[in-house]
Amino acid sequence: MAEQFISRGFKGRARETDRAVKERIPPGQFVTKEFPVLSAGPTPRTPLERWDFSVYGEVAEDLKWTWDEFRRLPRETVTADIHCVTKWSKLGTVWTGVSVDTLLAGVGLDAQPEVRHLVAFCDGGYTTNLPLADVRGGKAWVVDEYDGKPLDPVHGGPARLLVPHLYFWKSAKWVRGFKLVSEDRPGFWESVGYHNYGDPWREQRYAGD
């Protein structure tokens, strides 16, 4: 097999060299000051009058909030480092929104221990799957503000899921609801080779990692 040609002098994307930074971020990542946009489809444009957020599935109660109702739920501001599977990390990002605990509170989950999974579904058809345990207990939010301003559509506005302890493809943009299920269902990227769980600290980028 022929040896790969090396492009003289090509350095490529910054690899993280700062040791203090390297200790703070998961393996294989580098820090960026930008906020790259990765989209698998066109930016949806749902008007707020038609937006709603649903929680349904194998549970006794279906829940739904209009945009106004969603905005009146208890809100919190979260500062988090985020990690994309394409290797960039962004430190100290600030989001405001509703804890997933709040959204799941009325659905009666404790009475149904076999319902252990969640599928987030979104405008444009994107989906991602998560264990319920990973979105409860203060680990996940549905956020509608970034840096104190309304979330830009290219970054998932009006609202996106935020699950910072997992790779950022799990923080689904343009989220419209959760389906609660007993059987896990791989989402958009999980079904074409990305890791089903996606822990950046164990570098779970791809299926089989």
Partner 1 sequence: MAQQLKWQLGTVVEIRQETPRAKSLILDLPDWTTHLAGQHVDVRLTAEDGYQAQRSYSIASPPEDRHLMLTVERIEGGEVSPYLTDGLRVGDRVELRGPVGGYFVWDAREGKHDGSPLFLAAGGSGVAPLMAMIRHRAHAGNKVPTRLLYSSRSYEEVIYREELERLSASDPTLRIIHTLTRRRPPDWAGYGRRVDRAMLADAAWPPAENPLAFTCGPTAFVEAVATHLEELGYEPGRIKTERFGPTGG
Partner 2 sequence: MRDNDLRLDGNAAGGLLNEIFPFEMTAAEATCAGCAATSLIGELMLYQHGMGAVLRCADCDTALMRITHIRGSYRLDLSGMTYLRIASDIH
Burial (CB count within 10 angstroms: exposed 0-12, middle 13-18, buried 19+), residue 159: buried
In terms of CB distance, is 40 or 94 closer to partner 1? 40
Verify binding: residue 17, partner 1, rule CB under 8 A: no
Residue type, 142: V
Antiparallel, parallel or unpaired: β 175-181 and 52-57: parallel
28 interface partner picked from partner 1, partner 2, none, CB below 5 to 8 A per type:
none
Interface with partner 1 by CB under 8 A: which range of 6-14, 44-52, 94-102, 105-113?
A: 6-14
Please report whether residue 47 would count as binding partner 2 according to CB under 8 A.
no
Q: Report the partner that residue 10 touches, choosing among partner 1, partner 2, none (CB closer than 5 to 8 A by kind).
A: partner 1
Binding of residue 8 to partner 1 (CB under 8 A): yes
User: Distance between CA 161 and CA 98 in Å, rounded?
Assistant: 10
Give the binding range for partner 1 (CB under 8 A) out of 2-10, 21-29, 164-172, 195-203. Answer: 2-10
Residue 6's binding partner out of partner 1, partner 2, none, with CB under 5 to 8 Å set by partner kind: partner 1
At residue 53, the 3 state secondary structure works out as strand
Q: Beta strand pairing status for 160-162 and 76-83? A: unpaired
Does 182 help bind partner 2 (rule: CB under 8 A)?
Answer: no
Residue 116: CB partners within 8 Å, gap ≥ 6? 131, 132, 133, 182, 184
